[in-house]
Amino acid sequence: MDATTAGSGNGETTTQAGTIRLHYWAAAKSAAGVAGDDLPVDGPISLAEVVRRAVALHPGTRLPDVLQTCSALLGDRPVTAEDPDTVEIAPGSTVEFLPPFAGG
């Protein structure tokens, strides 16, 4: 059963079960072969677990190496500098993986 509560408008919502949307950009998109994935979850999981599950969805690709260099956004909040084991991702959230960009 999916019980959703409106979030704060920054890409985070509180739910009991649902999905976490992953968006891959540039080299991450190329490595995964898709623009994104939906991870079914029973409740909140850590960013580290999100990355493990994303990698498991794309075995034999460069995605593990690429994700190590990516910045991660939870909604519009950068979370890369935080410990990925302590960053909680709730169902209904979107995580963006942005590789370093050259130029400007």
Is residue 4 domain-resident? Answer: no
Q: Beta partners for 24?
A: 97
Residue 20 or 8, more confident: 20
The domain spanning residue 65 has which CATH number?
Answer: 3.10.20.30
Residue 101 CB contacts under 8 Å (≥ 6 apart), including other chains: 26
What is the rounded distance in angstroms from the CA atom of residue 31 to the CA atom of residue 16? 31
Domain range enclosing 34: 17-98
> DSSP letter at 23?
E
Average pLDDT over residues 13-25: 83
This prediction's pTM: 0.82
Domain count, the chain: 1
pLDDT in tens, 22-40: 999 999 999 999 999 999 9
- Higher model confidence: residue 54 or residue 6? 54
Q: Does 2 fall in a domain?
A: no
| Residue 60 is assigned to a structural domain of this protein | yes
Give tens-digit pLDDT for 65-74: 999 999 999 9
- Name the residue among 95, 85, 96 with its Cα closest to residue 19: 95
Asked whether residue 11 is domain-assigned, the answer is: no
Q: Quick check: is 39 in a domain?
A: yes
